[in-house]
Amino acid sequence: MKTTITILRKIALVALFLFFAQLTFAANYYAYKNQTVTINAGGTFDEYKWIYVSKADGTTNETIAGQTTSTLTQTFTTAGLYKLRVLVKNASGCWSDVDATTDIDIFVLPDFNVTVAADAGSSTTYCTNVSAANRTTLKATATLVAGSPTLPSEITFDLANWYKTASSAGDITAITASATGVNPYLLTETSVGPHYFVATGKYSIPTGRLISIANAPVKSTATTITINAAPTTPTITPTVIN
């Protein structure tokens, strides 16, 4: 019985380790989907063999066809973690040994959506005479598309750019900068009528770790905020009867 309990404890500890490792792992480098990545191995060897030790789709030990020089060029179409290795052959026909410590991890970033809604306790309408602090506060949120891999813990979203657009269509060509560097965003509008706001989001990646061109920021759909006119205070005129 004691042996069984010990084994179960070890299994539980391993499971916890794997769980937290998944939450906190960081790749050597990051790349965006469908963007070209160029990697250089250096040296002047007769031949190079580039290998996917593992790929995001679960494939392992796959030699990359057509890549036999010191420069590897790849475009990743599937999000997730890739482990890359290179072997070299010298003029004597000898291949280098496998050295796993030289492998690099590349995490290909998944697609995400940006949504905008009134922040908790805030309304999508307000009156022209409301105090500045009580106007609508909008909050942007990023959500990975269904089936995406878990992001490394060091990767976050930058959701601080806001725009006002001329219509509910939220056409990116028609919007003008409204605010930057804030999320949630407290509106400053005071004119009567509907107003349409859009937020954009992008990945925040540690400096020196992105090895592809970044995708354009992701744009939310337009959110409508309505400002209503406050009535004019009437003049009090008593009816005199004496």
**Domain assignments of the chain as residue spans, ordered by start:** 24-109, 112-228
pLDDT reported for residue 113: 97
d(CA 126, CA 192): 10
State both tokens at 219: 């744009």
Classify residue 96 by burial, with Cβ atoms within 10 Å: 0-12, 13-18, 19+.
middle
pLDDT reported for residue 25: 62
pTM: 0.81
- 10 Å Cβ neighbour count for 81? 16
pLDDT reported for residue 8: 45
State both tokens at 172: 């990116």
Per-residue pLDDT of the chain (242 residues; tens, 9 = 90+): 555 555 545 444 444 333 334 445 678 999 999 999 999 998 999 999 999 999 999 999 999 999 999 999 999 999 999 999 999 999 999 999 999 999 999 999 999 999 999 998 899 999 999 999 999 999 999 999 999 999 999 999 999 889 988 888 877 666 666 777 789 999 999 999 999 999 999 999 999 999 999 999 999 999 999 999 999 999 999 999 98
Sequence-ordered list of residues with C-beta below 8 angstroms from that of 47, at least 6 positions apart, any chain: 68, 88, 89
Classify residue 225 by burial, with Cβ atoms within 10 Å: 0-12, 13-18, 19+.
buried
What is the phi-psi region of residue 84: left when phi exceeds 0, alpha when psi lies from -120 to 50, beta otherwise? beta
What is the dotted CATH code of the domain comprising 112-228? 2.60.40
pLDDT reported for residue 47: 96
What is the dotted CATH code of the domain comprising 24-109? 2.60.40.10
